[in-house]
Amino acid sequence: MPVTALVSAKSSGVTTTALALTLASKRPSLLAECDPAGGTIRAGFLQGEATAGFGLYHLATAERTGPDALAHAFASHLWSMDQAGHRKLLPGLTDPGQAAALTRTWPALSDVLHVLADDAGYDVFIDAGRLALESGHLHPTLTPAPLLHQADLVLLVVRGTEQSLTLARHLIDPLRTELTERGNGPEALGLLLIEDGPYRAHQVADALKVPVLAALPADPATADYFTTGGRPPRGYGRSPLLRHARTATEQFEAAVSRREIQRQYPPRAANPQLAGVLQRLTERSGPRG
């Protein structure tokens, strides 16, 4: 299953979206709250239920004691968001001042997340917070850069508003270059649109020259539940946000497997007929609707 990292140009729904995707996935799922500016789920959605004994910061401490220590400590720092334990959360930092301590933890954490996705079939989502650049590259302490480099998908969360698109526009080129030079390739980059504002998915894709891999509806009641916790709103299980989030997880999986097929069997210029067959085959397994 894919490891999908979510980022924003400026607060635009990354944490809410990451929670919606994690809780909606058909597969076992894990959300790693890796926003260096600090996590909001513990005090928000969980209403303080998860004590400070759980979470990301402890993995930084563990990692310093030895090469395999993080992998061993990992499971004991996850919080179950459901009874059955299929929806796991790695709660984020309680203090943004701790972010610098994580710089050398990200690569080992990334390895563990990929093992969980590849070998245990988990849908893994990373809340990577707001993007920060330094000299045209991902900032080494204000972003979890290694997680973004290694993610199967890096999705910039945007809203369909002029303000959101204006801010996102400046990040596309540096992000694409970063993924080309240091990451999983430029095809890893996509947009996730929150349908708030006048711009539709095709307009957003045209404006930013990046495919929109999923669109989620504006659903204030469900989003508010993910932000502040408490009692789920009426009809939560069938809410527009949760239903579309479920479809989105399938679209991500299809996008990643399509890319894998294309990597294994690159279309051959010498045989355009074969390339056409491949394209039709991969389109079938692509996103619906």
Say which entry of ligand ADP, Mg ion, none residue 78 contacts (CB below 5 to 8 A, set by partner kind). none
Considering only 223, 242, 248, 255, the residue that binds ligand ADP (CB under 6 A) is 223
Contacts to ligand ADP from residues 177-196, by CB under 6 A: 194
Q: Which stretch binds ligand ADP (CB under 6 A): 5-13, 172-180, 202-210, 249-257?
A: 5-13
Cα-Cα-Cα-Cα dihedral of 169, 174, 180, 184, to 10°?
-70
Q: How many residues bind Mg ion (CB under 5 A)?
A: 2
In angstroms, rounded to a whole number, what is the distance separating the alpha carbons of residues 50 and 48? 6
Cα-Cα-Cα-Cα dihedral of 242, 18, 8, 55, to 10°?
160
Does residue 15 touch Mg ion according to CB under 5 A? yes
Considering only 16, 105, 110, 239, the residue that binds ligand ADP (CB under 6 A) is 16
Say which entry of Mg ion, ligand ADP, none residue 8 contacts (CB below 5 to 8 A, set by partner kind). ligand ADP
Say which entry of Mg ion, ligand ADP, none residue 29 contacts (CB below 5 to 8 A, set by partner kind). none
Least spacing, CB of residue 88 vs Mg ion, in Å: 18
> Which CB atom, from 221 or from 275, has the smaller least distance to ligand ADP?
221
Task: Report the DSSP beta bridge partners of residue 154.
Answer: 5, 189
Least spacing, CB of residue 223 vs ligand ADP, in Å: 3
3-state secondary structure of 214: strand
In angstroms, rounded to a whole number, what is the distance separating the alpha carbons of residues 97 and 187? 33
Residue 121, judged by CB atoms within 10 A of its CB (0-12, 13-18, 19+), counts as exposed
Does residue 161 touch ligand ADP according to CB under 6 A? no
Does residue 241 touch ligand ADP according to CB under 6 A? yes
The angle that helices 240-264 and 220-228 make with each other, rounded to 10 degrees, is 80
